[in-house]
Structure 1
Amino acid sequence: MDVHVRLDGQRDLSGQIYRQLRAAIHDGLLRPGEPLPPTRELSRRLAVARNTVGVAYERLVAEGYADSRVGSGTYVRSAGLPTGSPETAVEPTGPGLRPRALWSSLSPWSIPPTTGPTPASHDFRVGLPDARLFPYDAWRPLIARELRLSASGSAGYGDPAGHAGLRAALARHIGLSRGVRADPDDVLVTTGTQQALDLIGRVLLEPGDRVAVEEPGYPPARLPFLAQGAQVTGVPVDDEGLVVDALPADTRAVYVTPAHQFPLGMPMSLRRRTALLGWARRHGAAVIEDDYDSEFRFGGRPVETLHSLDRDGHVIYVGSFSKVMLPSLRVGFLVAPAPLRTALRTAKYTADWHTTVPTQAALARFIDDGRLARHVRRMQHVYATRHEVVTRALTGDHGDLVELVPSAAGLHVTAFTRGPLADPDALLAQVRHARASGVAVHTLAEVAAHRSARPGLALGYGAIGAPDIEAGLLRVLSPCQDR
């Protein structure tokens, strides 16, 4: 890698080179064992005599910052570098740049750490699929093929709406699996759900508009709207989902997770879904439906999407591949009513032009070849087994300590705590004790946007094998039974 050296004037050129290279070594920009640029090359780039660079290098060697190897070059010393620091950087003389005051009140969703530096022996974290079971052998050739096509000269900037093949594949996929009526033009590919929410806010909201979210609810969903100057209002949920009657009349958009409410886990009842759509129609509001892990269902009738029930064009359907495949793919999508298409594509172009094209193209083939459907079927069986083990343990051996919230979908369950763990402080102490013994687990309050009215646990089973679940729950709950 080229080293940037800036020369000021014509005085003490060797000293200027020496000081900047020494600072790069101190700052870790030049690491132990790395070569310094050949003197001939650096002198050419700086338009100085080769001897000028040579004097700077000799000083670095003499002071213990570098080693000269005959016939090879000059290298940063591998060990025993001098201690101390170079001259202090010049401090700005003026106030400099500052963010808008709004940003001092916002921060990324930060769940408290669950374990120390070693991996958890029992991982109950929420929102994680089992990355160990992802079909990497099937995925690698698809990505490799797209990269080869890029190398052949076919690479270029993509369509802001997304890869045409992927949009067509997504329209078929959600039509078959979730009953969402959409054609490829309705689909916009995004870099995850978070970007989808950001784009929707840019297109629909004016500063000061009100957005309603579930409470307790998914914390990151609030951030894009807050950052755009919206008023975000929490609306309570009950055992049927969002309480529609509690929506403020001036709400411009409502964000909901109807198939598997986050974090409590129950589905929104048909009666409540119908009421929400009627409310949106009367108030001219948008309903943002986050269908985040509905592919995995373990009992009962499939829950119809709000989008499939909508006849008036008020629902924007949002999904991603973070739970079905891998969070690191960062591929999501939204399905929007026709009047929003052009504005959303322009907003996507403004944000980042397009989501990475090779990944989109590979995912299109992954879906069209039937590999996604096979993977979902396989994981459906795996997660169903884990769901059964978790629910059986919580309603059986630990039933005196927890009250399970009924849930037949997704990758986590929620249980309200009772008895000695009904006290939030006692629950948090118990959870910390479990973490110290190698269990990654969170309280309900830690994963929700606002503290729940009742203390509880959010227990993910996506990243923990079925044989480890009961032992992990025993570490979480059994110590208080011994007291």
Structure 2
Amino acid sequence: MELHVVINGRKDLAGQLYKQLRGAIESGRLAAGMQLPPTRLLAEQLGISRKTISDIYAQLTYENFLIGRVGKGTYVNARPSKFLRKQTASDLACAETVNAWRSLHSPLPDPSLEGTVRRDFVGGATSKGQFPHDEWRRCTQYALRQMQKSVGFYSHPEGLPALRSAIAQHIAFCRGVICQDSDVVVCNGTQQALDVISRVVLEKGSIVAVEDPGYPPARLLFASQGATVVGVPVDKEGLRVDLIPDQTRLIYVTPAHQFPLGMPMSHERRLALLQRAEELGAIIIEDDYDSEFRYEGLPTDSLQSLDERGLVAFVGTFSKTMLPELRLGYAVLPPAISEAVMKAKQFTDWHTSTLPQWALAKFMTDGELQKHIRRCHSIYAGRRERILSRLNGDLSPWLEAIHTTAGFHIAALFKHPIDLKLLIELARKVEVGLYSIEGFFYQETPRSGLLMGFGSIETLDIDPAMDRLRDLLLQMDER
């Protein structure tokens, strides 16, 4: 690898090289410990005599910028870098926009920053111990072979045909979604699907209706694009359709497993939502984030399968069924916006990485995804039953579970006022991770409760964790 040095003309070659090397070291571009090219190689690169290079190295070594190591070469010496003052946000013409982005609240906790606890009820996370690593490794090797056969150019913005076909078949089988391969666009997770759809549908000031409480990253994404986001309350049947404002362009819902409360949207409410969207000329985004895991009752149709007017964009993810690190999701687009969204995806991302796409297509067509979902379903069902048993048993004086039929989290509301912040702090001290639902409320008055995820906590850890929660609640009552 060549060292980046630019020589202008043939005058004062030694002076030019000296200034550039010293400046690169002082600025930190050449970091401490980095090895410089041997004098012979640098001389060939720059067309300068080797003696001139040796003299410059010697001078910089004398000035303590470089250090020679016998038999190894010449290295940048450790010394403080001299940085020029950089522009601050207030110096820029875009200061207002930069500060607006900086002021946005990060909606979900990062476990790697907060630190992990042994018994963690974090929502939206899965255990890597359940993931079929051997099968995925085999599919990844297949993906590498497929990439080796390609011409080495950019791929399809909408996703590989093999994966789009596998997704279309999977969601038709599992969720009753009515679609063709051409309706599917592969994205880097659900968040990118929301981004490209909203880029096409919204403009500054457009009204977006979201569930309240609801999923903060979606709400903040719509707001960041200049939309006016309106929180619409939910009840036991889901989103209050009668409260969706006039002039709404986009409606974001989680009908299969309302986030975060968990209740499914009733069939009558779904039909009313479709009718209201048709009246408004609005697009509905149906976020079907974890409905593969259903534990009771008859299967419910996806909202998209009831849509006869082409108003619903069905959005899904593999972060919940597989691993969040894969960052693979998809959208099934209504015909009216399909071509525009495909172009938005190309302009912002070009295409999703083909290696995981090939691997996932193989994983799905070989039946490994369905096997994995069945294994996880059995485990999650047991964990859910254990949590509900405790919430309806010795924890019932304090908490009431909201009835839910799918997913891998349960919301439980406190029956009496409690210092929830203190409870969460005390729980972490005894190695139990608890999470409040209050931060998911937007314009509605927050309700006090816990979001109890059971995707990553081990089954044998649930009872000890619930014991500690009960003991803490008893102690707080005594105080």
Common fold: TM-score over 0.5: yes
CA distance in 1, matches of 2:444, 2:243: 18
Amino acid in structure 2 at the alignment position of 1:240: E
1:375-408 superposed Cα distances (whole Å, 9 cap, x missing partner) = 1111111111111111111111211111111112
CA distance in 2, matches of 1:70, 1:471: 60
1:216-264 superposed Cα distances (whole Å, 9 cap, x missing partner) = 1000112332222211111111111111111101111110001111111
Give the match for residue 253 of structure 2. 256
Give the match for residue 16 of structure 2. 13
CA distance in 2, matches of 1:460, 1:31: 46
Q: How far does residue 113 in structure 1 lie from its aligned partner after superposition?
A: 5.9
Give the match for residue 325 of structure 1. 322
1:282-321 superposed Cα distances (whole Å, 9 cap, x missing partner) = 2221111000000011111222111111111111111010
Structure 1 pair 300/242, CA: closer, same or farther in 2 (3 Å)? same
* Identity of matched residues, %: 41
- Please tell me whether the aligned partners of residues 266 and 407 of structure 1 are also in contact (alpha carbons under 8 angstroms): yes
Give the match for residue 97 of structure 2. 101
Q: Aligned pair 1:297/2:294, yes or no?
A: yes
CA distance in 2, matches of 1:337, 1:181: 10
Choose from 420, 425, 436 the match for 1:432.
425
Give the match for residue 30 of structure 1. 31
- Please tell me whether the aligned partners of residues 254 and 288 of structure 1 are also in contact (alpha carbons under 8 angstroms): yes
Give the match for residue 372 of structure 2. 375
Structure 1 pair 118/280, CA: closer, same or farther in 2 (3 Å)? closer
- The SS at the match of 1:457 is strand
- Please tell me whether the aligned partners of residues 117 and 433 of structure 2 are also in contact (alpha carbons under 8 angstroms): yes
Amino acid in structure 2 at the alignment position of 1:98: C
- The SS at the match of 1:396 is coil
Structure 1 pair 115/456, CA: closer, same or farther in 2 (3 Å)? farther
- The SS at the match of 1:443 is coil
Larger mean Cα displacement after TM superposition, 378-387 or 100-109: 100-109
- Please tell me whether the aligned partners of residues 193 and 319 of structure 1 are also in contact (alpha carbons under 8 angstroms): yes
Give the match for residue 456 of structure 2. 463
Q: How many equivalent residue pairs?
A: 471
Give the match for residue 147 of structure 2. 150
Structure 1 pair 384/95, CA: closer, same or farther in 2 (3 Å)? same
Larger mean Cα displacement after TM superposition, 426-435 or 198-207: 198-207
Give the match for residue 57 of structure 1. 57
CA distance in 2, matches of 1:476, 1:111: 22
Amino acid in structure 1 at the alignment position of 2:237: E
CA distance in 1, matches of 2:378, 2:397: 29
- The SS at the match of 1:248 is coil
Q: Aligned pair 1:337/2:334, yes or no?
A: yes
Give the match for residue 176 of structure 2. 179
Amino acid in structure 1 at the alignment position of 2:291: S
- The SS at the match of 1:154 is coil
Structure 1 pair 103/331, CA: closer, same or farther in 2 (3 Å)? farther
- The SS at the match of 1:12 is helix
Give the match for residue 211 of structure 1. 208
TM-score normalised per structure 2 = 0.90
Amino acid in structure 1 at the alignment position of 2:258: Q
- The SS at the match of 2:153 is coil
- The SS at the match of 1:234 is strand
Give the match for residue 465 of structure 2. 472
Q: How far does residue 110 in structure 1 lie from its aligned partner after superposition?
A: 3.8
Q: How far does residue 148 in structure 1 lie from its aligned partner after superposition?
A: 3.0
Amino acid in structure 2 at the alignment position of 1:443: S
C-alpha RMSD of matched pairs (Å): 2.6
1:73-472 alignment to 2 at 5 Å?
Answer: 73-76=73-76, 81-82=78-79, 85-89=80-84, 91=86, 95-96=91-92, 98=94, 101=97, 104=100, 107=104, 109-112=106-109, 119-419=116-416, 422-423=417-418, 426-449=419-442, 453-472=446-465
Structure 1 pair 255/20, CA: closer, same or farther in 2 (3 Å)? same
Amino acid in structure 1 at the alignment position of 2:223: L
Amino acid in structure 1 at the alignment position of 2:429: A
Structure 1 pair 305/116, CA: closer, same or farther in 2 (3 Å)? closer
Amino acid in structure 2 at the alignment position of 1:23: E
- The SS at the match of 1:237 is strand
- Please tell me whether the aligned partners of residues 205 and 226 of structure 2 are also in contact (alpha carbons under 8 angstroms): yes
- Please tell me whether the aligned partners of residues 252 and 285 of structure 2 are also in contact (alpha carbons under 8 angstroms): yes
Larger mean Cα displacement after TM superposition, 42-51 or 254-263: 42-51
TM-score normalised per structure 1 = 0.90
Q: How far does residue 190 in structure 1 lie from its aligned partner after superposition?
A: 1.2
Amino acid in structure 2 at the alignment position of 1:387: R
CA distance in 2, matches of 1:250, 1:116: 41
CA distance in 2, matches of 1:374, 1:29: 51
- Please tell me whether the aligned partners of residues 317 and 334 of structure 1 are also in contact (alpha carbons under 8 angstroms): yes
Q: How far does residue 272 in structure 1 lie from its aligned partner after superposition?
A: 1.2
Structure 1 pair 468/208, CA: closer, same or farther in 2 (3 Å)? same
Q: How far does residue 374 in structure 1 lie from its aligned partner after superposition?
A: 0.5
- Please tell me whether the aligned partners of residues 2 and 45 of structure 2 are also in contact (alpha carbons under 8 angstroms): no
- Please tell me whether the aligned partners of residues 7 and 17 of structure 1 are also in contact (alpha carbons under 8 angstroms): no
- Please tell me whether the aligned partners of residues 114 and 439 of structure 1 are also in contact (alpha carbons under 8 angstroms): no
